[in-house]
Chains A and B, each alone.
Chain A
C-alpha cells in the first residue's frame, strides 16, 4: 500500500485535509501545534488503497527539534508527499517546499487557504508555479472542502521534481519564484486585522482579554445551567426516574435493586448505577462539557488562544515558563488528558513538567467544575468562587516554588500568531461532536463503574473497614468525616465522581471548601495519570503525583487550620 504524507508548516490546515481525505475525525484549530502526534488513516481511490499520514507541522527540516526529526524519519518512508502550504504566506512556506523537492519523492503541492488570497490582495499564477517547480499545484480550501477532490484525482500525477538550486542562494531563489508567480495588490486593513491589533497590544489587549474571559464564563454557565434546569433535570425527574423505579423496584434479590437504584431515594445520595450513575454524567456533567467546548472550539478556530499566550507571557515568565504554556492550561479547563498531550509544543523537559503541574492543579477539569458548581451552589456562589480562587492561589505559589527549585532558564517566547479567521459552523459542530463522543465513550463508563464500586463497597461494608484503618490523619488534619477515605480511594477513577461522593456527608460550608480544594488537587485521575506516564516516564509521573498530593494535603490542612482559628 502506498504511503501518502501530508506535510507542511504548522497551522496550514493539514489536519483538516486529512479529515476530509480519510473520514477520520481529528481535532483542528487555528494555532500552530494542534497536531502533536502523527495520525494515520486510509483513503480509497478507484482500485487503489492508500495510507495517509498527518505529519505534525514543521517550518524546516533542519532536525533541530523533536518534531522535525519525526518528520524527517517519516519522509524516508513516504511514497507520495502532499506538501500543504498557506497561499497567503508563500515565502515562508516555500522554504520547506524547497527542502522537500530534493528528496526525490513524487510530490503534490497544495495551496490551501486559496479563498483567503482574494481578500488579502494576493494573486498567484498557479500554472507558472507548476512550471517552475515541476510538480502539480492544487488550490484548495480545506474548511469548505473545495479542491480536495483534485488532490485525490491527482495522486497518480505526483511528480519527482528536477528543480535544483544552490542551497546558499535559497532565499534569493524563493524571492525570484515569488516575483514571477505572485502579484500583491494594495488594499485596506480588514476588520479582522484591526481586531487582531487591538487584542495583541497590551493597552487594549488586557481589557479585551478580561472581557473575553468573563463572557466565556458567562456563556458556559448560561448554557450549562440552562440545559440542566430547563431540559435535563426535568426530563430525568419527570420521565426517566419514575419509569426506572417502577421497572426495577421489585427485582429480587434486594441486593440487585440496591445496586441499580441505591438505598436512599435521593438521586445524588443513592449511588445507584441507574440513578446517580446516569444523573452525574448526563444531567450534571454533560451540559458543562457541551457548553465549555462550544466556546473553546470557537476561540480555538477564531485564533484567539495565541494572542492570550502573548498577553500572559510576562506573568508566566515569573513561573519559569513562557506564554505559550497558557494554551495547554486552557485546554486543561476542559480535560487534563489532551492538555497534557499538548505540552509537546513546549521545548524543554523542565517547561513540560512545570506546565503539567500547573495543568493539574491550577483548575479542576470541566466535569469536576460542574460537580463543584452543582453541589457548591447550595452553600452560595461566594463559596464556589472562593474554592476557585484558593486553587489558583495554590497553583501560583506551587509553580513559583517549582521554578525556584528546578534550575534552568525561563525560555523565551518565539511564535507565530496566526491571523483571525471566521470559524466554519460545520467544522465547529464536528469538533464539538468529536469531543462529546470521547466523553461518552471514555468518561461515562468510568463514572458509572466508579459509582457501582462505591455502592458495592458500601453494601459490603468495605468502606467502614478502610475508614477505620486510615481515616485518622484526614479527620485530624483536614477536619473531614472519616468516610472521606473512600472518596480519596475511589475518586482516583474519576474526579467528578469524587466530588459527587461528597453529597451524602452533609458537610458544612468550610468542610466543603477544604474537601473540594483537596479533591481537585490531590491526584490526577486515572486517565491523566496514564498519559503522564506515557509522556514523561514513570519516574517523573510519580514525582508529579507525589508533589501534587503533598501540596493538596498541606493546603487542605492549612485551610482547615485557618478556618478553625478564625
Chain B
C-alpha cells in the first residue's frame, strides 16, 4: 500500500518508494540517509502541523510536514 510519510501511522515500518521533487531536494534527503529503497520506522506523527519523526538506518530525523507529504512509502 502506497502512502505518504505524513499519513503513515506511528510505529509502522515501511520502505521509501517515491520522492516527489527535484535533484537538489533528493540530495538533501539523501544526505541524512533518506533515499529510494531505504527502510524506515515512523516514530512520531505530526500533531497540530508539527513535524514527523522517523528512523532511517541509525539516524532519527525530524521532517517538516510539507517535506513529509512528498515522500511516499510502501508498508510491508
Measured CB to CB, the residues of A under 8 A from B are 59-60, 62, 64, 88-89, 91-92, 95, 120, 171, 196-197, 200-203, 306, 309-311, 313-314, 317, 322-323, 411-419
Cα distance, A314 to B50, chains bound together (Å): 5
User: Quick one: closest B residue to A32, CB to CB?
Assistant: B32
Which residues in A have their C-beta under 8 angstroms from that of B47?
202-203, 314
| Shortest distance from the beta carbon of A423 to any chain B beta carbon, whole Å | 19
The yes or no answer to B59 lying at the interface (CB within 8 A) is yes
Cα distance, A417 to B44, chains bound together (Å): 13
From A64, A197, A310, B62 is in contact (CB under 8 Å) with A310
| Shortest distance from the beta carbon of B28 to any chain A beta carbon, whole Å | 7
Find out whether the CB atom of A416 lies under 8 angstroms from the CB atom of B59: yes
Find out whether the CB atom of A59 lies under 8 angstroms from the CB atom of B32: yes
Consensus secondary structure, chain B interface: mixed
Cα distance, A120 to B28, chains bound together (Å): 27
The yes or no answer to B61 lying at the interface (CB within 8 A) is yes
From A200, A311, A314, A415, B43 is in contact (CB under 8 Å) with A200
From A62, A314, A415, B27 is in contact (CB under 8 Å) with A62
From A64, A201, A314, B48 is in contact (CB under 8 Å) with A314
Cα distance, A168 to B75, chains bound together (Å): 27
Cα distance, A414 to B54, chains bound together (Å): 11
Which residues in A have their C-beta under 8 angstroms from that of B28?
64, 414
User: Quick one: closest B residue to A419, CB to CB?
Assistant: B60
Which residues in B have their C-beta under 8 angstroms from that of A311?
50
The yes or no answer to B17 lying at the interface (CB within 8 A) is no
Cα distance, A200 to B64, chains bound together (Å): 14
| Shortest distance from the beta carbon of A50 to any chain B beta carbon, whole Å | 30
With A92-B32, A196-B60, A323-B62 known as contacts, the answer to whether A313 contacts B27 (CB < 8 A) is no
Consensus secondary structure, chain A interface: helix
13 contacts between A and B (CB under 8 A): A59-B31, A62-B31, A64-B24, A64-B27, A64-B28, A88-B58, A91-B57, A92-B33, A92-B57, A413-B62, A414-B62, A416-B62, A417-B62
Find out whether the CB atom of A417 lies under 8 angstroms from the CB atom of B53: yes
From B31, B49, B62, A60 is in contact (CB under 8 Å) with B31
What are the 6 closest A-B residue pairs judged by CB atoms, nearest first? A412-B64, A59-B31, A314-B50, A202-B47, A413-B64, A417-B60
Find out whether the CB atom of A202 lies under 8 angstroms from the CB atom of B44: yes
Measured CB to CB, the residues of B under 8 A from A are 24, 27-33, 35, 43-44, 47-51, 53, 57-67
Find out whether the CB atom of A314 lies under 8 angstroms from the CB atom of B49: yes
Find out whether the CB atom of B49 lies under 8 angstroms from the CB atom of A415: no
Find out whether the CB atom of B44 lies under 8 angstroms from the CB atom of A415: no
Cα distance, A197 to B28, chains bound together (Å): 25
Find out whether the CB atom of B51 lies under 8 angstroms from the CB atom of A413: yes
Cα distance, A416 to B53, chains bound together (Å): 10
In the complex, number of A-B residue pairs with CB atoms less than 8 Å apart: 92
Find out whether the CB atom of A92 lies under 8 angstroms from the CB atom of B43: no
| Shortest distance from the beta carbon of B25 to any chain A beta carbon, whole Å | 10
Find out whether the CB atom of A201 lies under 8 angstroms from the CB atom of B50: no
Find out whether the CB atom of B61 lies under 8 angstroms from the CB atom of A414: yes
Find out whether the CB atom of A313 lies under 8 angstroms from the CB atom of B24: no
Find out whether the CB atom of A414 lies under 8 angstroms from the CB atom of B32: yes
Which residues in B have their C-beta under 8 angstroms from that of A62?
27, 31
| Shortest distance from the beta carbon of B34 to any chain A beta carbon, whole Å | 9
Cα distance, A88 to B48, chains bound together (Å): 33
User: Quick one: closest B residue to A89, CB to CB?
Assistant: B58
Which residues in A have their C-beta under 8 angstroms from that of B35?
171
Which residues in A have their C-beta under 8 angstroms from that of B50?
202, 310-311, 313-314
Which residues in A have their C-beta under 8 angstroms from that of B48?
202, 314
| Shortest distance from the beta carbon of B63 to any chain A beta carbon, whole Å | 6
With A64-B24, A92-B32, A310-B50 known as contacts, the answer to whether A415 contacts B62 (CB < 8 A) is yes
Find out whether the CB atom of B53 lies under 8 angstroms from the CB atom of A414: no
Which residues in B have their C-beta under 8 angstroms from that of A322?
64
User: Quick one: closest B residue to A91, CB to CB?
Assistant: B57
Cα distance, A417 to B24, chains bound together (Å): 22
Cα distance, A463 to B71, chains bound together (Å): 64
| Shortest distance from the beta carbon of A336 to any chain B beta carbon, whole Å | 26
**What 16 additional pairs, Cβ within 8 angstroms, besides A200-B60, A418-B60?**
A60-B30, A64-B24, A89-B58, A91-B58, A92-B59, A95-B31, A197-B43, A202-B50, A310-B50, A317-B49, A322-B64, A323-B51, A412-B63, A412-B64, A413-B64, A416-B62
Which residues in B have their C-beta under 8 angstroms from that of A306?
62
Cα distance, A92 to B59, chains bound together (Å): 8
Which residues in A have their C-beta under 8 angstroms from that of B65?
412
| Shortest distance from the beta carbon of B70 to any chain A beta carbon, whole Å | 10
From B49, B57, B61, B64, A417 is in contact (CB under 8 Å) with B61
Residue of A314, A413, A416 contacting most chain B CB atoms (<10 Å)? A413
From A89, A314, A412, B67 is in contact (CB under 8 Å) with A412
Cα distance, A274 to B30, chains bound together (Å): 59
Residue of B30, B35, B62 contacting most chain A CB atoms (<10 Å)? B62
| Shortest distance from the beta carbon of B24 to any chain A beta carbon, whole Å | 6
| Shortest distance from the beta carbon of A319 to any chain B beta carbon, whole Å | 13
Which residues in B have their C-beta under 8 angstroms from that of A412?
63-67
| Shortest distance from the beta carbon of B55 to any chain A beta carbon, whole Å | 9
Find out whether the CB atom of B32 lies under 8 angstroms from the CB atom of A89: no
User: Quick one: closest A residue to B61, CB to CB?
Assistant: A416
Cα distance, A59 to B31, chains bound together (Å): 5
Cα distance, A554 to B27, chains bound together (Å): 46
Which residues in B have their C-beta under 8 angstroms from that of A416?
32, 59-62
Find out whether the CB atom of B53 lies under 8 angstroms from the CB atom of A200: yes
User: Quick one: closest A residue to B58, CB to CB?
Assistant: A89
| Shortest distance from the beta carbon of B54 to any chain A beta carbon, whole Å | 10
| Shortest distance from the beta carbon of A327 to any chain B beta carbon, whole Å | 13
